Every structure is written in C-alpha cells, then in structure tokens.
C-alpha cells in the first residue's frame, strides 16, 4: 500500500501524478510530532523525510499544488509550539551529509539536517572544530541558525557567525544561494529565519583548528561572584569561556570557566585530556533522586529551597570553595545534560545590568523586606508569596559586536542579543517531572519577564515567552521591518507561515495569506498541549490545479 494511501484522493492524486519525475517523495501519514520536552505536539497530515536537494524542492512544489503549509523540523529542541502543524512537516533527519572539507581554509559544506554531535565527529576526523557551541548537541545546524543559538564567551555572538553562505529552497521550489556578498538581505533574514522564509538545505561553515578546554568549576557565595562581576566584568573576562549557574535560595553560584588548550599543547605533553572525577551520585542515582524530588515538589512546593541545597550540594559541594576540573575536547566540555522535560524562558539583557538583575530576582523570590540582608527594591509587581521555583538560573554571555554587523552583511535582522555591546543571557528553567507542569510556572515567568523588560531585554526566539507582536516590532524597529520585507518577497503566499509567526512576527496589518496555517484549537491533556491547525479546503486545491 502507498504510504500516502490514506490521504484525500485529490491530494493523493497530485502526489501520485508527480511520481514519474524519478525523484523520490519519502513521506508517511499517521506521524505524531512532539517537541523534545514533550511540551507541545501536533499531528501533521504528512511527514516528509527528504534525502537530497531535489527531494526538498519537490516537496515544496507539491505543497504548493496541494495548498499545504510546510513546516521544517530538526530535533524539535525548542520547547515552544513553533514546529507544530496539521499540514506537512518536513524532517531533515535524513539530510545530514558532510559534502566537503577544506582543511587549509577550514571551510566545511554540509547538508542542513546534520546534528551538532554528528558534525563534531566529522570535524574531529579532520582536526577541526566549531569555534563556539551552546549547551545542547542534538540540534541540527539549520535549527541552530534559524533560532539564534549562542554560547558563553565574550569572543563570539551567535553560533551563526561562522556561516559563510547558505542555500535555501524558497516557496517557488527554487534553490537560492546567499552570503554576506550575494543576496545579502536574504542571508541576513535566513540567518535567523524562524522557519518562515524557506527550507535551508546547505550550509557552508568556517571551522577552526580543533582544541580542548581546560576547565574548572567552583561553588562560591553569590557575593563573591557578584564582586568579581562588578570589577570591570572580571568574572567574564578571566577565561576564554565562562558560565554561571545561580542558586537563588542558598545565594550561591557555580562558576565554570575554561581556557583553550591547543593541539600543540596536547601533542607536546604540556596538557593531557582528562575527564572530571565522577562520584556515585553523578549518574543514574542522582538523576532519579532529583527527578522524584521535583515531582514531590508539585505537591509540597516549599521544599524547593531545601532541594536546591541538597541536590547542588551533592553535585558541587556543600562548602563554598569546592572546585573540580578537567581537560576535555571543546564539545565535550561545553555540552551538558538537559535532564528532564522543561519549559525554558531565556532573555538577553545588557551585560552591565546583570548584577542588578540577580539581586532583584533574589530579593523577590526570597520575599526579602527592608532591613533584611541582601534586600533591594525589586519593583516586580507580582507577589512571590507561596512561589517556589526550580534551580539553577543559567547565566551566560556573548557579544555579537565582535565579529558581526549590518555593514559586514552577516548580522541577522532578528538577532536578539544586544546591538551595541556585550549581552547577558539569563535562562529560567522550570522542569516538568514525569511530563507534568509545575505549580507556580505562570507567576515565575510573569515576574521574570517583567524584570527582563525593565532591564531592556529581549527573549530568545526558541524558548517559551509571552510577548506581544507590537513589542517585538518596537524592540527590533527597522530590523523587523527589513525581515518582514524579505519574508514577504520570498514567500508572498505564506507557504511557510503558521500561527506562531502570525502571533509574534508578522505585520498585524497583513491579511491572511493564501497558504497560511491558522490554529483551530488546542487540547491540554495534562502532559503537554496538542495543537490543531486548519488545512486548505479541497475546492481550493481544485482551483489551484486549474490554475
């Protein structure tokens, strides 16, 4: 039986009629799509798995003829409903080859569906590496580009800084190349496309010679961490890579810092790769203890300050000053286990506002009063009475002004980092033990987002946030105008537009587009939300066939 036999006869007829071109159309029905965190789900009419450039182009042409919106997905690591659709879902999982490697220049050309861990393995074979990575290794290179992923160093901004050029299949089924010098506006739009411009199929990337990181992490009092920060950003400039996990209830912080170890350092014996010591608590035991404590906190939220003390004391040490370290290949040193299903709310604010942000959050979460140690006027207009949140808050930095700019043609229009200086990225994570939402989620994110706005912040596009369309328009100004212009030029009928785009980034004055997917309803069964969208009416398909 044909894998598309269950489709409406008219849709199936269009697909079957295209079989004579010799280009495979790898698709199936009855696919249940869910985000990695199982926060959102959908049931696409068709799940398409292309393995070549021609197959992607064919999928786009068929979607147009069948009047079906196209959504592209990699690992679905975003906890939002950005990738949910009831129309056609294109997975790039089978589109993951490294096409060429130039060891002299470091230029690597790859298909856009390759996962970061797969690409890292290939780069290692050639003595090459990413210059910077985030904390997650399951993303596709296209997903990293499309949502604005960043690492934690003041030497770089977004990971997409290393992209030399792209190939993208547009809504007309044609493939177009773009770079800082060719189709520059399309390049700046596609570098953070949110999946709304087309399907990125090929990426040319500038790698660097492989290196390791000599890292150490120390648990210390919050005051020591903040004092270092206030000394002209010494906290963030003391090493090549720095990140912090802030513990708001115990008022402590884990400071992780790392310096580059070159291949020559390793070959000469000056340094040697070594993994950190692993205790009995660091494996499955600690994982399950923490998971079940989080589950218990759904019923007794007030235990969360104790959970923070116990879990992170077991992991990093109960006494301030405890330090551990290792020397590891860069990817292994930076990547971390995301543990459990989660909601993630991450914002970018000016780096110099960071100490203020943590002090105000700490004062609010701990319900401090004037006269209490560490009290500051937080100004947050939501009560924290009875509110308890998960730890830690991840604190990272980047600086997009070092390597990118509008003048160079390589800064994305929708780059959410600070436009004229270094950026602090604050990440508030709330776990979903056994896929169940935690109490206090809404109030925590409301208070967190209020403060981030007050400090001049913008949210990470791939995360969970509650922001109005007009706020984005105000924050991004002409950059949003230019991104919308590029989007409208390459996809005027909305083949790649869904409810998420309509809610957050489309011009509110734009009428409903011919292929745009509109949400009909959503259902929360208690373990994640299933989203249902509308498909084109069959008479619309007949009209399209005649046209």
The string of pLDDT tens digits covering residues 136-150 is: 999 999 999 999 999
Residue 545: pLDDT over 90 = no
The DSSP string of 266-291 is HHHTSS--BPPP--GGGTHHHHHHHH
Q: Is residue 2 part of a domain?
A: no
Residues 131 and 245 reside in one and the same domain: no
- 393 φ, ψ to 5°? -95, 120
Residues 355 and 403 reside in one and the same domain: yes
Q: What is the mean pLDDT of the chain?
A: 96
Q: What would the pLDDT profile of 5-58 be if each residue is shown by its tens digit?
A: 889 999 999 999 999 999 999 999 999 999 999 999 999 999 999 999 999 999
Question: Taking the alpha carbons of 119, 400, 361, 314 in that order, is the dihedral positive or negative?
Answer: positive
If one compares 428 and 135, the residue with the highest pLDDT of the two is 428
Boundary (domain end) residue, out of 159, 177, 209? 209
Q: What would the pLDDT profile of 484-525 be if each residue is shown by its tens digit?
A: 999 999 999 999 999 999 999 999 999 999 999 999 999 997
Q: Which of 246, 366, 242 is nearest to 302 (CA)?
A: 366
- 2 φ, ψ to 5°? -65, 140
Residue 538: pLDDT over 80 = no
Contact 364, 447 (CB under 8 A): yes
Mean pLDDT of 52-79: 96
Q: Which residue has the tokens 């470091």?
A: 106
Q: What would the pLDDT profile of 250-287 be if each residue is shown by its tens digit?
A: 999 999 999 999 999 999 999 999 999 988 788 999 99
pLDDT at 205: 96
Residues 75 and 168 reside in one and the same domain: no
Q: How far is CA 89 from the centre of its chain?
A: 19
pLDDT at 544: 58
Q: Is residue 117 part of a domain?
A: yes
Residues 325 and 358 reside in one and the same domain: yes
Which helix (H) or strand (E) element contains residue 316? Answer: helix 304-316
Residues 26 and 82 reside in one and the same domain: yes
Q: Is residue 493 part of a domain?
A: yes
Contact 422, 157 (CB under 8 A): no
pLDDT at 279: 83
Count of structural domains, the chain: 3
Mean pLDDT of 380-394: 98
Residue 547: pLDDT over 60 = no
User: How far apart (Å, rounded) are the C-alpha atoms in residues 182 and 201?
Assistant: 17
Residues 225 and 284 reside in one and the same domain: yes
Mean pLDDT of 330-336: 95
User: How far apart (Å, rounded) are the C-alpha atoms in residues 328 and 211?
Assistant: 9
User: How far apart (Å, rounded) are the C-alpha atoms in residues 300 and 220?
Assistant: 28
Q: Is residue 4 part of a domain?
A: no
Mean pLDDT of 367-395: 98
Q: Is residue 1 part of a domain?
A: no
Mean pLDDT of 167-182: 98
Q: Which residues, in sequence order, are CB contacts of 16 under 8 Å at separation 6+?
A: 2, 4
If one compares 259 and 540, the residue with the highest pLDDT of the two is 259
Residues 530 and 401 reside in one and the same domain: no
Q: Is residue 55 part of a domain?
A: yes
User: How far apart (Å, rounded) are the C-alpha atoms in residues 499 and 520?
Assistant: 10
pLDDT at 280: 79
Helix 53-66 vs helix 538-546: angle between axes, to the nearest 10 degrees? 110
Q: Which residues, in sequence order, are CB contacts of 163 under 8 Å at separation 6+?
A: 145, 191, 203, 204, 205, 206, 410
Residue 249: pLDDT over 80 = yes
Question: Taking the alpha carbons of 353, 358, 361, 364 in that order, is the dihedral positive or negative?
Answer: negative
Q: Is residue 185 part of a domain?
A: yes
Contact 397, 257 (CB under 8 A): no
Mean pLDDT of 283-303: 97
Boundary (domain end) residue, out of 444, 466, 488? 466
Q: Which of 437, 444, 397, 438 is nearest to 417 (CA)?
A: 397
Q: What whole-number percentage of the chain has pLDDT above 70?
A: 98
Residues 326 and 428 reside in one and the same domain: yes
Residues 39 and 172 reside in one and the same domain: no
Residue 158: pLDDT over 80 = yes
Residues 220 and 231 reside in one and the same domain: yes
User: How far apart (Å, rounded) are the C-alpha atoms in residues 29 and 51?
Assistant: 18
User: How far apart (Å, rounded) are the C-alpha atoms in residues 374 and 368?
Assistant: 8
pLDDT class for 426, splitting at 50, 70, 90?
very high
Domain that holds residue 81: 9-94+478-545
Residue 539: Cβ within 10 Å count: 9
Residues 35 and 183 reside in one and the same domain: no
CATH assignment of the domain containing 74? 3.30.43.10
Residues 243 and 356 reside in one and the same domain: yes
CATH assignment of the domain containing 165? 3.30.465.10
Mean pLDDT of 365-383: 98
Q: Is residue 538 part of a domain?
A: yes
Boundary (domain end) residue, out of 434, 466, 498? 466
């Amino acid at each position: 039986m044909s894998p598309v036999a269950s489709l409406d006869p008219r849709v199936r007829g269009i697909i079957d009629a295209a079989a004579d071109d010799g280009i495979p159309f790898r698709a199936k029905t009855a696919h249940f799509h869910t985000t990695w965190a199982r926060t959102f789900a959908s049931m696409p009419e068709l799940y398409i798995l292309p393995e070549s450039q021609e197959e992607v182009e064919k999928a786009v042409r068929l979607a147009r003829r069948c009047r079906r919106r196209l959504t592209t997905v990699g690992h679905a690591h975003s906890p939002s409903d950005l990738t949910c659709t009831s129309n056609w879902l294109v997975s790039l999982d089978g589109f993951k080859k490294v096409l060429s490697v130039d060891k002299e220049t470091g230029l690597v050309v790859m298909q856009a569906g390759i996962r970061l861990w797969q690409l890292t393995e290939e780069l290692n074979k050639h003595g090459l590496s990413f210059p910077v990575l985030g904390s997650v290794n399951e993303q596709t290179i296209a997903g990293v580009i499309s949502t604005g992923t960043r690492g934690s160093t003041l030497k770089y901004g977004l990971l997409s800084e290393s992209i030399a050029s792209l190939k993208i299949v547009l809504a007309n089924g044609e493939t177009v190349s773009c770079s800082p010098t060719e189709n520059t506006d399309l390049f700046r739009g596609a570098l953070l496309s949110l999946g709304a411009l087309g399907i990125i199929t090929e990426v040319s990337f500038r790698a660097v010679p492989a290196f390791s990181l000599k890292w150490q992490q120390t648990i210390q009092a919050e005051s020591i961490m903040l004092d270092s920060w206030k000394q002209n950003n010494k906290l963030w400039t003391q090493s090549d890579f720095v990140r912090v996990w802030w513990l708001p209830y115990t008022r402590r912080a884990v400071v992780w810092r790392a310096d580059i170890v070159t291949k020559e350092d390793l070959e000469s014996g000056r340094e040697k790769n070594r993994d950190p010591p692993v205790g009995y608590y660091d494996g499955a035991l600690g994982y399950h203890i923490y998971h079940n404590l989080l589950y218990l906190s759904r019923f007794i939220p007030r235990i969360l300050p104790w959970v923070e003390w116990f879990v992170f004391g077991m992991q990093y040490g109960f006494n301030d000053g405890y330090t551990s370290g290792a020397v590891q290949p860069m990817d292994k040193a930076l990547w971390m286990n995301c543990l459990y299903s989660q909601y993630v709310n991450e914002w970018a604010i000016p780096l110099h506002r960071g100490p203020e942000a943590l002090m105000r959050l700490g004062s609010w979460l701990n319900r401090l009063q004037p006269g209490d140690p560490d009290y500051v006027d937080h100004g947050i207009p939501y009560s924290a009475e009875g509110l308890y949140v998960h730890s830690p808050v991840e604190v990272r930095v980047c600086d997009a002004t070092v390597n990118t700019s509008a003048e160079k043609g390589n800064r994305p229009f929708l780059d959410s980092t600070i436009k004229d200086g270094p950026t602090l990225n604050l990440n508030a994570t709330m776990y979903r033990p056994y896929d169940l939402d935690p109490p206090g989620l809404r109030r925590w994110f409301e208070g967190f987002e209020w403060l981030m706005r007050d400090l001049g912040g913008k949210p990470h596009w791939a995360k969970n946030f509650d922001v109005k369309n007009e706020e984005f328009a105000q924050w991004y100004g002409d950059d949003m105008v230019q991104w919308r212009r590029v989007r409208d030029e390459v996809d005027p009928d909305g083949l790649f537009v869904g409810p998420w785009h309509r809610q957050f980034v489309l011009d509110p004055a734009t009428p409903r587009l011919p292929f745009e997917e509109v949400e009909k309803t959503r259902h929360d069964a208690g373990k994640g939300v299933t989203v249902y969208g509308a498909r084109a009416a069959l008479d619309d398909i007949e009209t399209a066939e005649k046209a």
